[in-house]
Amino acid sequence: MECWKTSSELRKYVFDSLKEMESKPYYHKGQNFLISASIINFQVDHANIKPSDTILEIGGGVGNLTRCLVNRAKFVYVIESDIKFAGFLSDKFSTSSNVEVIQGDAVKVEFPTFTKCVSNLPYQISSPITFKLLEKKFDFAILMFQREFAQRFFAKVGTKDYSRLTVMINLKSECQYLKTVKPSSFYPAPKIDSAIVSMKRKEKITVNMNSDFDNFITLIFSHKKKILRSIITNLLKRKGYGELRNKIVNNLPYLERRIFTLSLVELIDLYKFIRTKIGEDLWSDIFSLNMK
């Protein structure tokens, strides 16, 4: 079932809503609204929303996407930071018993429990929101990002885009690049292309996931062009464990490799090797993120 029949109907809804609020969109707040019916319909179709789904939408704006989610899902949580937009959304959906508008910064507010996330993200918070989503349990997400940002999810090992983001996304989810979206699909049109990506949470993760692995990846990827030997040596010195250098560095795999050339499998291998070699207590001291 299509949500928006035509783009002119959708465009009219967006413009009328902005007029009603006497509001104009601000670029620095990521306020670019979808005015292409085929793109919204594409997102909603790919989200494959079931009547049992609870949806999280980050950045509700004028409710042009929300409207499509509300008719399909059991419940929809919409987070919107802009007070005017949040008020508008609350009014708009005041007669729908399955919508809750949460006014606040999506980076800071506690996410409710949800099964799917369907969002056209404000681009300036793409990175913290992606990492925050990866901490949560959910089934599936359909997300719009800046195209360049989305491409980092699929970066090949050893390329400049291969980063902590690539590693963590691929550790915890299966992503698919679904579609490039042109600036003309939005009002106002952004300067760059966007991309729709799907993200399916992996049920089983290959490494025991408390935040340790994440910390380890954060630490070593903060100097991703450096060689592993120099990173470990400097880290030990900085944390006051210089005398352990030989114990840890001897037999360490991938010693002469630059960090950004290590695949996910190799990084997990390295993490397990170091953890086993130094034990729990030393591990938390040396690989915790607090800087000594």
What binding mask, one character per residue, do residues 260-279 give for ligand SAM by CB under 6 A, x or -?
--------------------
Using alpha carbons, select from 57, 47, 48 the residue that is nearest to residue 77: 57
If one counts every other C-beta atom within 10 angstroms of the C-beta of residue 2, the result is: 12
Upstream peptide bond of 188 is cis (omega within 30 degrees of 0): yes
Choices 53-61, 174-182, 239-247, 257-265; region in contact with ligand SAM by CB under 6 A: 53-61
What does the DSSP 8-state code read for residue 101?
E
- Supply the minimum distance, in Å, between the C-beta of residue 57 and ligand SAM: 7
Query: Which of 18, 61, 168, 260 is the binder for ligand SAM (CB under 6 A)?
Result: 61
If one counts every other C-beta atom within 10 angstroms of the C-beta of residue 16, the result is: 11
Residue length of the chain: 292
Looking at the Cβ atoms of 131 and 241, the one nearer to ligand SAM is 131
Rounded CA-CA distance 230/224 in Å is 11
Number of residues located near ligand SAM, criterion CB under 6 A? 23
Looking at the Cβ atoms of 79 and 165, the one nearer to ligand SAM is 79
Looking up tokens 């409207």 gives 67
What binding mask, one character per residue, do residues 9-38 give for ligand SAM by CB under 6 A, x or -?
--------------------xxxxxx----
Is residue 125 a contact point for ligand SAM (CB under 6 A)?
yes
Is residue 136 a contact point for ligand SAM (CB under 6 A)?
no
Using alpha carbons, select from 47, 60, 99, 93 the residue that is nearest to residue 77: 99
Rounded CA-CA distance 246/254 in Å is 15
Looking at the Cβ atoms of 128 and 253, the one nearer to ligand SAM is 128
Q: Cα dihedral angle (109, 110, 112, 118), rounded to 10 degrees?
A: 50
- Supply the minimum distance, in Å, between the C-beta of residue 35 and ligand SAM: 8
Looking at the Cβ atoms of 3 and 79, the one nearer to ligand SAM is 79
Choices 46-54, 56-64, 130-138, 224-232; region in contact with ligand SAM by CB under 6 A: 56-64
- Supply the minimum distance, in Å, between the C-beta of residue 139 and ligand SAM: 21
Looking at the Cβ atoms of 107 and 227, the one nearer to ligand SAM is 107
Q: Which of residues 102-121 bind ligand SAM (CB under 6 A)?
A: 105-107, 120
Is residue 85 a contact point for ligand SAM (CB under 6 A)?
yes
Tokens of 258: 């630059």
- Supply the minimum distance, in Å, between the C-beta of residue 96 and ligand SAM: 16
Q: In what order do the strands lie in the sheet with 116-120?
A: 99-103, 75-80, 54-58, 116-120, 140-146, 194-201, 173-181
Looking at the Cβ atoms of 120 and 173, the one nearer to ligand SAM is 120
Instruction: Yes or no: say if 59 and 120 are a contact pair by the CB < 8 Å rule.
Output: yes
If one counts every other C-beta atom within 10 angstroms of the C-beta of residue 21, the result is: 15
Query: Which of 67, 76, 122, 130 is the binder for ligand SAM (CB under 6 A)?
Result: 122
Residues 6+ apart with CB under 8 A from 90: 101
Amino acid of residue 46: H
Rounded CA-CA distance 141/139 in Å is 7
Looking at the Cβ atoms of 107 and 178, the one nearer to ligand SAM is 107
- Residues of the shown chain interacting with ligand SAM in the complex, contacts defined by CB under 6 A: 29-34, 58-61, 64-65, 79-82, 85, 105-107, 120, 122, 125
